Amino acid sequence: MMGKAPSLVTGLDGFRHVRSPRIQTMANKKLKLCQAMKIFSSLLLASLVTTCSAFVPLNQVLNVTPIKTRGRFTALKMVSRAEKENPYMEELKANARKIGGRGRGILASDESNATTGKRLEAVGVENTEENRRKWRELLYTAPGLGQYISGAIMFDETLYQKTAEGKPFVDVLAEQNIIPGIKVDTGLQNMFGTDGETATQGLDGLGDRCKAYYTQGARFAKWRAVLKVDDRDLPSEKAIWENAHALARYAAIAQENGLVPIVEPEVTLGPGTYSIERTAFISERVNSIVMNWLNRYDVVLDAILLKPNMILPGLDAPIASKEEVAKYTVQVMKRSIPPAVPSIHFLSGGMGEEEATLNLQQLQKEYPDSPWSLTFSYGRALQSSTLKTWSGKQENWKAAQDILVKLAQANSQAQLGQFVEGTHPSPGGGRILQALRLGGAGK
């Protein structure tokens, strides 16, 4: 039995060509499939427009603003609604620039009552509310501190405290041209199904707390996420994504309520001999994922401060040279942090007081044309010698304040690339291992 004869069809070139019935059938099927897909796409788009327009205009659904043009078509420009509609936005950007200004850094004095108590007890001072208040008063009233410190992070209790004469701490700081900040997370909680990894708590009620903190005088906030590193497989993907997501939600809520968010994704030092290259790889990945989530939540990067770790090897590995630390730290920042971020405030994370200063200065030499202000947000690297000098004794008050200001000055000089090695005021030396055990890495 003979099949159907081939048919003649007109091609795109205008000539007649022979096409077999089999090829013709396949062509017809493809045509019908394309027509069906086109109809389905049209119906889907129509459904989306109808559904969305019942609530808000389509340009708002797509987060775009129409622009008038001369032609018949209208161009669409992507904009940030968070940036456009936030009444605090200009204030947020101005405060971020001020806190990140060159030659100054942040005093991280936001340790919890329990952590502060352990450090007080280590120098023979009882952990009471009054002794904690005295300790913070010593810090904030140090004459000349504002020349070198632009912001001070406070704990909830401290934000509402006053000097012995009855002056609120926020006013004391303002008189020194220091912007008050506040720790807004409520601590770490172990994540189920992980090897001791943690997630930061505190999103519940965060908006209301931020409003109250703003009213009290705070103008920036801090939220700390901790990612543990080991010689094997930590941090896990689960921990990285959970903490990055929480950091982004916190940052969006803080900006909404007038507080510049410090974003602190701390890749924390831990026991082990892992290399500085491993810390660099993990830190780059963590920072990149955090930035991704910040963009997803429409956080305005011009109005945040970043507080990452410097890149160091494991605590059981040989201490890296300042040149190595600067090289890998700058490499990580270049690869993972957009230039829109105004300043990067490195935490002291287990470094000694002098080590933190020298590493900070080396960063300026490694990247003199940095788009960010590479500065500091130090806790123990400013407080350790100060606390030991004071030891709860009134007669040591002035000497303790003097060493605090000298430590702040040394780091200010390092931020400007002007610190003279061999002139550091700290009597200490290597890494603050005891402080790590008492308070966790990162202050």
Q: Which of 79, 96, 124 is the last residue of a domain?
A: 79
Residue 7 lies in a domain: no
Residue 296 lies in a domain: yes
Shared-domain flag, residues 73 and 112: no
Instruction: Give the pLDDT score at 67.
Output: 45
CATH of the domain at 210: 3.20.20.70
Instruction: Give the pLDDT score at 294.
Output: 98
Instruction: Give the pLDDT score at 80.
Output: 72
Q: Which residues are catalytic?
A: 264, 307
Contact 306, 337 (CB under 8 A): yes
Round to whole Å and give the CA distance between 326 and 332: 10
Shared-domain flag, residues 67 and 185: no
Shared-domain flag, residues 242 and 183: yes
Residue 254 lies in a domain: yes
Shared-domain flag, residues 317 and 395: yes
Residue 1 lies in a domain: no
pTM: 0.81
Residue 62 lies in a domain: yes
Shared-domain flag, residues 168 and 43: no
Beta bridge partners of 66: 76
Q: Which of 79, 96, 128 is the last residue of a domain?
A: 79
Shared-domain flag, residues 329 and 284: yes
Shared-domain flag, residues 54 and 107: no
User: Which residue has 């005088």 as its token pair?
Assistant: 217
Q: Which domain holds residue 65?
A: 13-79
| Burial annotation 370-381 (CB, 10 A radius, 16+ → b, else e) | bebbbbbbbbbb
What is the 3-state secondary structure of the chain?
A: CCCCCCEEEECCCCCEEEECHHHHHHHHHHHHHHHHHHHHHHHHHHHHHHHHHCCCCHHHHCCEEEECCCCCCCEEEECCHHHHHCCCHHHHHHHHHHHCCCCCEEEEECCCHHHHHHHHHHCCCCCCHHHHHHHHHHHHCCCCHHHCEEEEEECHHHHCCECCCCCEHHHHHHHCCCEEEEECCCEEEECCCCCCCEEEECCCCHHHHHHHHHHHCCCEEEEEEEEECCCCCCCCHHHHHHHHHHHHHHHHHHHHCCCEEEEEEEEECCCCCCCHHHHHHHHHHHHHHHHHHHHHCCCCHHHCEECCECCCCCCCCCCCCHHHHHHHHHHHHHHHCCCCCCEEEEECCCCCHHHHHHHHHHHHHHCCCCCCEEEEEECHHHHHHHHHHHCCCHHHHHHHHHHHHHHHHHHHHHHCCCCCCCCCCCCCCCCCHHHHHHHCCCC
Q: Which residues contact 29 (CB under 8 A, 6 or more apart)?
A: none
Residue 8 lies in a domain: no
Instruction: Give the pLDDT score at 53.
Output: 39
Residue 195 lies in a domain: yes
Instruction: Give the pLDDT score at 434.
Output: 35
Residue 440: how many CB atoms within 10 A of its CB?
18
Q: Which of 79, 113, 131 is the last residue of a domain?
A: 79
Round to whole Å and give the CA distance between 205 and 200: 14
Contact 198, 169 (CB under 8 A): no
Shared-domain flag, residues 401 and 419: yes
Residue 227 lies in a domain: yes
Provide the domain count of the chain: 2
Instruction: Give the pLDDT score at 174.
Output: 98
Shared-domain flag, residues 174 and 293: yes
Per-residue model confidence as pLDDT tens for the chain (443 residues): 455 555 555 554 455 555 566 666 666 666 677 676 766 666 665 555 444 433 444 344 344 444 444 444 444 455 678 888 999 999 999 999 999 999 999 999 999 999 999 999 999 999 999 999 999 999 999 999 999 999 999 999 999 999 999 999 999 999 999 999 999 999 999 999 999 999 999 999 999 999 999 999 999 999 999 999 998 889 999 999 999 999 999 999 999 999 999 999 999 988 899 999 999 999 999 999 999 999 999 999 999 999 999 999 999 999 999 999 999 999 999 999 999 999 999 999 778 999 999 999 999 999 999 999 999 999 999 999 999 999 999 999 999 999 999 999 999 999 999 999 999 998 865 444 333 323 343 34
> Under the phi-then-psi rule, with left for phi > 0, alpha for psi from -120 to 50, and beta for the rest, what region is 32?
alpha
Contact 248, 288 (CB under 8 A): no
Shared-domain flag, residues 40 and 175: no
Shared-domain flag, residues 47 and 166: no
Shared-domain flag, residues 97 and 143: yes
